[in-house]
Structure 1
Amino acid sequence: MLLTACALFQRPPRPLHAPPAEASQVQFPLDLPKEERLIIPGTVFKAVQLAMEDFLPWDVQPHKGATADEICLYQRGSYDITTAPGPEGVLFVRFTVKDDTCNSGGPILDMGATYAIDVKAWRILAIQH
């Protein structure tokens, strides 16, 4: 019975890596271009990761018979993320569907959420849908 219960605790999937032949073709720059570089502070990254795991867990799957638009909404890459500092120790993290990503008929307004993340205790304080 214990072995069966252990099967319920799945680890997140490991990322895919390109084959060595393809990887050997990558040319790394000496430095990342300043005009295109984006520095994400570790606190912001961790807050976004915490909120994303609640908003769209890595192992969630579309329901049977889902439409193409519904399947699209299950893809983390379909969302833009906006962050902003709140009161001391709080970071707001907002997920919004990218324009024209999942629906050719216009923007999807009722999807997404804003999270208030406690960056001291690393917990979700509140969610606004």
Structure 2
Amino acid sequence: MDGAHLKGIYKVTILHAIAMDGNNQILPIGYGICPKETTDSWTWFLEKLNECIGDLEGLTLLTDKATSIAKLVRAYKTIEFEQYWGRLYTLRPDVAVYLSQIPCDIWTRSHFPTMMYDYLTQTA
């Protein structure tokens, strides 16, 4: 997933998601046009994407680490994490329940026992 910023007469951002099939061929999944790349526009895009493709087992989403969608995992302090966690739990309780099954020290900076150095990952 990424955003492409148009610079011509129409100054908008196209958010897009692509997939790779078993033959390493790239397939477009969806796109959305928004005024600019923000947390709200990514939330809207991901909700619409979820409406279209549903919850797929084994689905992995990769991004270019856009700051507008990285706030929860990049919170430095636990109090900051708790604020984002509360917002997520209100907006998407199903996602919050899913994430609560994964130890926070694996996927959040605020709970990680040492420095993460901007490398975020989840082990199976």
What TM-score do you get using the length of structure 1 for normalisation? 0.21
Higher share of residues assigned helix: 2
TM-score, normalised to structure 2, is 0.22
